[in-house]
Structure 1
């Protein structure tokens, strides 16, 4: 598949080729979650993807506990449906621990992580919403040599599955991070086993065609090459322009490369970009740094061509008159939503 064909397939899977007539909940589920360390950004991502999206619809889903804010893929905060996080959390457990140990291995040397986990669960078992510092305050006397920040990071982002409870993450609401046990928040225990093949299918439906390296870049998970190898009979394969082997679902949309792509304004850290190891399908290598720097970007003809903030759009290349007109029109629609 050449770059343009791959681009159009990506836009179609990411609901960016045309706005989808689906609910916010179904969109979050289809996208396998939305990166959400910046609490307001998922609202912008859904506005660009859904017909008639209203911010209160996502607020309602969070308050009704149908979608939740949790640490998951790559140990970053994601907004996921309750069903997805319960199905996938166990599979991410080892990765989450290793991510924290990769930063704080010296500080946590010799610590029994299961003992630390059990102590944290005991504190959180009453169902109260707590900040990280409030949880750690109950444990510092037991682990006095470990910096409180390190204890908190290991507990809240790896050892204990927790939800960041509203008002954190609501539209234009202010509130610090307060955590509640995931199982208590949603009234159900985490699934003990994750169906790896189902997870790969879900990823390909939203991000394919993709290489195994892309799947790992999105999830942070190890062990996926063997999973994909075991699925070869049910997948189709392609080569991209860089010679990488791409996998896909047989009946997934792969639009004509000449399909027009509308202007789209993406939020910071949008997974349409970060969901891949090789991001050249949607962003030039020269601008790759924008995707990890928290810049909001504008897609023109399906590719990153500008950055934006609440006040202005800054092109990365010269626009034609028709492109500038399309950017201006979409910018005005977005400004109306933001007002």
Structure 2
């Protein structure tokens, strides 16, 4: 206790995170409900969400997610942190307006000088007119078409900026199981048959984040969403929340009835895809990854959790799933990691893959 406030140590926060993320025990959830609960899946690499769901659900048939994408019940779009996320259609419409200012600012952080003479409102109108024929286009095609009107900036800059200012989605086959190909964009409103909602500060984003990531500080919510100005949203729901402290003395907020397991609860081996929000969704990531390895979390590295913490990385190449420890493995560690790796290899390759667990680092 710190005064009359309970202190949650790193292990307590770890177990809470694993429980919320369905990494402590695989859930009997449908894919759509899982995507909704998690507040979206990071999908910068198109095939990674399939691994994220496989590690979290008892049933994670890739065909189910494919069907949701083609039926437009789940969409791929730039959202949190201006990275590509897989979100439900409902969340896409509810959250896109809330993220617009952040998306614009992050885009201008890259292209501000090139776009100094470009009116972003006119740019959004122009790309809306371009895409009004219903034909999805690549960012390159959009940029080349707009360059006739704005010859100063590069087509790449114009394409990226225009597709930031107009709410758009990436359409299938991008993101389907085993499919490759560039991103094709179409307006969100056309794809879903409804306009995005106006920005809302009702606190729903805070509730949703805490359900999947809590207990957490407001800095953690900002790190996940990329949004500034969150105190208003926190204040809108503060009376509904409970408060803790972490070992650093930060205030942590949480939903009162959300799971906070005993810190000694056993945690199974889990394989995480690149950029998974179980790691990236926090400002303070020490609950799941050592500071010495934090840099790997933004490099597209895939992680292996052992006793709930990042303990190894993994790759797949030429039909071989390779595990590279980040610390010394005991014999029991190698056995447990190997078993989960073989199950994942079966999922990824239909049983044709092999597994290699490298020697432990000293």
TM-score class, shorter-chain normalisation, is over 0.9
Counterpart of 1:252 in structure 2 is 258
| Aligned counterpart for 1:21 among listed residues 6, 15, 28 | 28
Gaps (5+ residues) in structure 2? 1-7, 350-362
The corresponding residue for 2:337 is 327
Aligned structure 1 segments of 4 or more residues deviating by more than 3 angstroms = none
Distance in structure 2 (CA, Å) of the matches to 1:98 and 1:195: 19
Shift of 1:189: 1.0
Cα shift at 1:325: 1.2
What residue in structure 1 maps to residue 357 of structure 2? none
TM (normalized to structure 1)? 0.98
Partner residue, 1:190:
196
Report SS of the residue matched to 2:285.
Answer: coil
Shift of 1:231: 2.5
Task: Please show how residues 103-252 of structure 1 align to structure 2 within 5 Å.
Answer: 103-156=110-163, 158-252=164-258
Structure 2 residue matching 1:247: 3-state secondary structure = strand
Shift, 1:108, TM fit: 0.9
1:86 to 64, 86, 93: 93
Q: Secondary structure, in 3 states, of the residue corresponding to 1:146?
A: coil
Once the two structures are TM-superposed, the CA of residue 195 in structure 1 deviates from its matched residue by 4.5
Give distance in 2, aligned partners of 1:115 and 1:200: 33
1:59 aligns with 2:59: no
Aligned match of 2:355: none
Q: Which moved more, 1:312-321 or 1:186-195?
A: 186-195
How many correspondences in the alignment?
338
Check conservation: 2:201, 2:233, Cα contact below 8 A: no
User: Which 10-residue stretch deviates more, 39-48 or 170-179?
Assistant: 170-179
Matched, 1:281 2:321: no
- Deviation, 1:301, is 0.2
Q: Give the TM-score taking structure 2 as reference length.
A: 0.92
In 2, the alpha carbon distance for the partners of 1:96 and 1:89 equals 9
Matched, 1:265 2:275: no
Aligned residues of 2:42 and 2:86 also touching (Cα < 8 A): yes
Deviation at 1:194, TM superposition (A): 2.5
Aligned to 2:53: 46
1:338 match = 348
Q: Residues 63-82 of structure 1: matches in 2 within 5 Å?
A: 63-82=70-89
Q: Is the 8 A contact 2:201 2:232 kept in 1?
A: no
The separation in 2 between residues aligned to 1:265 and 1:227, in whole angstroms, is: 33
Distance in structure 2 (CA, Å) of the matches to 1:309 and 1:32: 26
Stretch of structure 1 that moved more, 211-220 or 322-331: 322-331
Displacement, 1:126?
1.4
Q: Deviations along 1:251-274, whole A, 9 cap, x unmatched? A: 100001111000000000000000
Gaps of at least 5 residues in structure 1 are none
| CA distance in 2 between partners of 1:135 and 1:150 (Å) | 10
> For 1:116 and 1:238, how far apart are their aligned partners in 2?
46
1:307 match: 313
Aligned position for 1:298: 304
